Amino acid sequence: MILDKFKVADLYQRYGFKVEKSTNDKIAVFTIHNGHYYNADIVELDTNVSSNNIFQQFTDSGYACKKRTYTSLDDVEDTLFKGFFTVKSSKERLRKSYEKFTSSLVSGFSKDSEYKYVNSKYFINGEEGKSNVITEIVNRLKDEIPTLFLIEAAAGFGKTCTAYELLAEIINKHNSLLPFFTELSRNRQAKIFRYILLDEIDNFFPSLSSKLVRLEIKEGKVPVILDGFDELLHTKLDDSDDINETMIETIGELLEGKAKVILTTRRTAIFDGDEFHDWMSSHKDDFNIIRIRIDEPTIGQWLSEERIELLKNNNFTIEKLSNPVLLSFLRSISDEEFNNVVSKPQEIVQKYFELMLDRERQRQELNMTVEEQYLVFTKLSKNMIESSYTSESREYIVMFFIEYMPQLLEEVRKRYSNENRPTKEELANKLASHALLDRSNVDNIGIGFINEFVLGNFCAENIINEEEEFFADDIRFISPAVTSYIPRVDDEKQKLWKALSFVLSFVDESEKIKYMLALNNEIVDDINNATIENLIIKDIVLGGNINIEKVLFINCNFTNIILDNLKMTDVSFVDCSFYESKIINMDNDTSISLLGCSSDNNIEDLLIKDINDDNSLNPQDNDKACEIFILEKFWPKGRVTFFKHRHIKGIYTGHSNFSHKDILKAFDRLRKKDFILQPNKVSFAELNTERISEIKDYMGRN
């Protein structure tokens, strides 16, 4: 076989080699030098020729020569990639990082504890998945099309575990791939994301140029795994979306060729907003976007039948155990410890921390009580909230312990014998190596809490104990705080809810309702002029003692819900699902409207007549005006081109002449006219471009 000299040269030049003259056309010579070292690859393009003379010629000239014989261009590319990217040693480094991470999750429970990844239920592009998240992604890594994978899940539902499990799958079973992995939650400089990404690449591949690494990313050889993308999204109350859009554009610049980029993130507004979907639409021919949502874990996926039965026998509220940290804790501890914990189910969180902190006293010979350790980390989390970071350098963490609690450290030092007494610096280093902080990223450049449950627990302590109304510029600490309190008794959850009441007036309404339900088990405040999206709501009366007025529910899942028509005014449900639910007080004028909803008992039939009553072939002027109002959301006046997709939330805003019911009816008529379609995108509507001429006529644009 004879290799194409020019194609081989292209591959070598990609890696910085210089093409040298050769006295034989069937032999190619490529040289490269770094500092004092001069190297030459002598490539025999034809296996029937000998390169001995040329090899000797370049050896005599001072080059360290290597004779190369390749079977194909793929062989050339693979050899260069593995050599320059030091694939074997890089994978070993990543493997140790995976082992360190997984060990840190269970080592605090028991010496014999073993980590096991749990495959939770998931949805892929809105449809329930049939295999598991790792398989869904790995099976697409060799696709020729560049692809962005968004792995979305609530705080504490296993995003980082999934990222690490994907990392392990690639390094152990895909020899030709070398993943680039980083935990973005460890980086504070969110305002310069483009430079963060370049810095992370440079740190991961210190001997290679960023240009070369980006090239191999686009070749598909370096899948990019960015864990904790939402941590870099701006969550400060006064931030604009411009920087978030720039971050998305930066990711988009990588999505060329065969590139694969995997982001793990909480479900955030940026991925459901018009700007993101406009960006998706503008790149629909450039790359694929696959959205994977991880559902909350079930207790049956974590615990044995025997332990589940013990929980039930002790009247343990199993529904509270949706947190992987507590489930892992209950799975890993000994039978004796398990029996002790479940005997007082209201103290499970307290038992978790007591056990972790007590074992740390033994592991590090740390002469500090459980209460003192707890205080230390409460103060650390307070500093995190005030300074808006979730990780910092080891030097900073050590300095914090020394400067912010010198008296405590001095008291602890005195408990050691003279010959074993540590300095303050040594004691602070013990704390910086604590099991609750023992989770650094791949390059060991940041220290933070071991998981969001632990972070949230200590943040909640500070929120509750704040002397004045709690307020934080950065609201990303609220979600883990709420998540950490779900397993607690109602009185404790109420304390956190009251402490959050002021700051929650500034957050997205959907988030507020989610936190309200998590901490109160019901909706306790009136809801007015709001859009609620993508929530799972169970076992409440919607209405009840509170009023709901001018509210739009989009793509929500309701189970065992009572909708009280008497307490609702101009409330619409779009693309929602209802299970074991019903509507009451229907003798009054109907204030509830449904569109594109489904149920297991046909409750939508109660309202279908109301939707269709005004659906005549010749709608009145007001009806047509409402339809044009909707169409103008896709094609605003004065704009040359139209938007193909619009978020349903945006369609319902910016009006004063039409009620939600008016818009819902008009929306339904436009769907039946085939002017508007339901795309394969949750919470979005699509303009039927095949009918664009008729739509223009209808809008009076011709």
Tens of pLDDT, residue by residue over 447-482, are 889 888 899 999 999 999 988 888 877 788 898 999
Give dist(CA 134, CA 174) in Å, integer. Answer: 13
pLDDT at 653 over 80: no
**CA pseudo-torsion sign 379, 380, 385, 386:** positive
pLDDT at site 612: 46
Judge if pTM exceeds 0.75.
no
Give dist(CA 679, CA 694) in Å, integer. Answer: 20
| CATH number assigned to the domain comprising residue 670 | 1.10.10.10
pLDDT at site 393: 87
pLDDT at 119 over 90: no
Does 127 lie in the same domain as 10? no
Q: Let me know the angle formed at the C-alpha of 118 by 116 and 122, rounded to the nearest 5 degrees.
A: 160
Give dist(CA 273, CA 291) in Å, integer. Answer: 15
Q: CB neighbours of 615 closer than 8 A, spacing ≥ 6?
A: 665, 668, 669, 672
Structural domain includes residue 165: yes
Structural domain includes residue 533: no
pLDDT at 27 over 50: yes
Q: Tens digits of per-residue pLDDT, 31-78?
A: 998 778 899 999 999 988 999 999 999 999 999 999 999 999 999 999
Q: Let me know the angle formed at the C-alpha of 303 by 297 and 309, rounded to the nearest 5 degrees.
A: 115
Element containing residue 426 per DSSP (H, E): helix 424-432
* Ranges assigned E (strand) in 589-702: 592-595, 598-599, 645-647, 676-677, 684-687
How distant, in Å, are the alpha carbons of 38, 150, 263, 556, 691 from that of 293? 51, 8, 12, 14, 34
pLDDT band at 167 (very low <50, low <70, confident <90, very high): very high
pLDDT band at 400 (very low <50, low <70, confident <90, very high): very high
Q: Which residue among 273, 294, 315 closes a domain?
A: 294
Mean pLDDT across 605-627 = 60
SS3 604: coil
Does 286 lie in the same domain as 145? yes
Does 283 lie in the same domain as 136? yes
Question: Which range marks the domain in which residue 23 is found?
Answer: 5-72
Mean pLDDT across 618-634 = 80
pLDDT at 335 over 50: yes
pLDDT band at 181 (very low <50, low <70, confident <90, very high): very high
Does 263 lie in the same domain as 134? yes
Structural domain includes residue 463: no
Structural domain includes residue 384: no
pLDDT at 439 over 60: no
pLDDT band at 166 (very low <50, low <70, confident <90, very high): very high
Does 205 lie in the same domain as 58? no
Does 126 lie in the same domain as 21? no
Does 273 lie in the same domain as 156? yes
Percent of the chain with pLDDT over 90: 38
Residues for the chain: how many in total?
702
pLDDT band at 233 (very low <50, low <70, confident <90, very high): low
Structural domain includes residue 635: yes
Q: Which residue among 294, 309, 334 closes a domain?
A: 294
Average the pLDDT over each of 13-17, 169-173, 534-538, 616-620 and give the range with the smallest value: 616-620
Structural domain includes residue 216: yes
Does 165 lie in the same domain as 62? no
Q: Let me know the angle formed at the C-alpha of 385 by 525 and 517, rounded to the nearest 5 degrees.
A: 25
Sheet architecture: strand order including 676-677: 645-647, 684-687, 676-677
Q: How many domains does the chain have?
A: 3
Does 252 lie in the same domain as 157? yes
Average the pLDDT over each of 181-185, 408-412, 510-514, 594-598 and give the range with the smallest value: 181-185
pLDDT band at 273 (very low <50, low <70, confident <90, very high): low
Does 259 lie in the same domain as 152? yes
Does 15 lie in the same domain as 127? no
Does 263 lie in the same domain as 197? yes
Structural domain includes residue 346: no
pLDDT at site 613: 47
Q: Which residue among 244, 263, 294 closes a domain?
A: 294
Q: Which two tokens stand for residue 97?
A: 């990082």
Q: CB neighbours of 518 closer than 8 A, spacing ≥ 6?
A: 482, 483, 485, 486, 493
CA 260 to chain centre: 16
| CATH number assigned to the domain comprising residue 193 | 3.40.50.300
> β-strand 288-294 against 122-124: which pairing, if any?
antiparallel
Structural domain includes residue 391: no
